[in-house]
Amino acid sequence: MPKQPIIPPGSAPPLAPYSPGVRSGNVIYVSGVLPMDAAGKVVGEGDATAQTRCVLEAVKAIVEAGGGTMNDVAYCNIFLSDMAHYAAMNAVYREYFPTEPPARWCIQAGLVKPEFLVEISAVAHL
């Protein structure tokens, strides 16, 4: 099955060789999204709420550029630099998935830069 890279306009530059998203058939795979602006600058340094919102807006842009909506997101992987950010992340996450939220897991992990507090990847089925 052919795949189509998804790179929304104004998306942050990848920090490694990957596409922000890929559509294969009716599935959209969203790479781990970090809280960065289009210039690659960290957004919301020290603020898990702001970083989660930035990350989920980027996830939304990728899913929509692939032809889906946030209602199509079936699964998320959430990485937090510290579980102390869990409540703040969940408060924002709930705004993006108010009913029938996707399946997910959430772990504490060292992220690629110490300024990053939140990273989220997703899978959407159209």
Determine how β-strand 73-80 pairs with β-strand 3-6. Answer: unpaired
80, β-bridge pairs: 108, 118
Q: What is the pLDDT of residue 7?
A: 94
Catalytically annotated residue among 36, 56, 106, 118: 106
Q: How far apart are CA 87 and CA 99, in angstroms?
A: 18
Q: Is the dihedral of CA 50, 51, 52, 54 positive or negative?
A: positive
What confidence tens digit (pLDDT) does each residue in 94-120 have? 999 999 999 999 999 999 999 999 999
Q: List domains and CATH numbers for the chain.
A: 3-125 (3.30.1330.40)
pTM greater than 0.85: yes
Place 24 in a pLDDT band, splitting at 50, 70 and 90: very high
| Phi, psi dihedral angles at 60 (to 5 degrees) | -60, -45
Is 15's pLDDT higher than 90? no
Task: Please give the pLDDT value at position 58.
Answer: 97
54 is catalytic: no
Question: What local confidence, expressed as pLDDT, does residue 63 receive?
Answer: 98
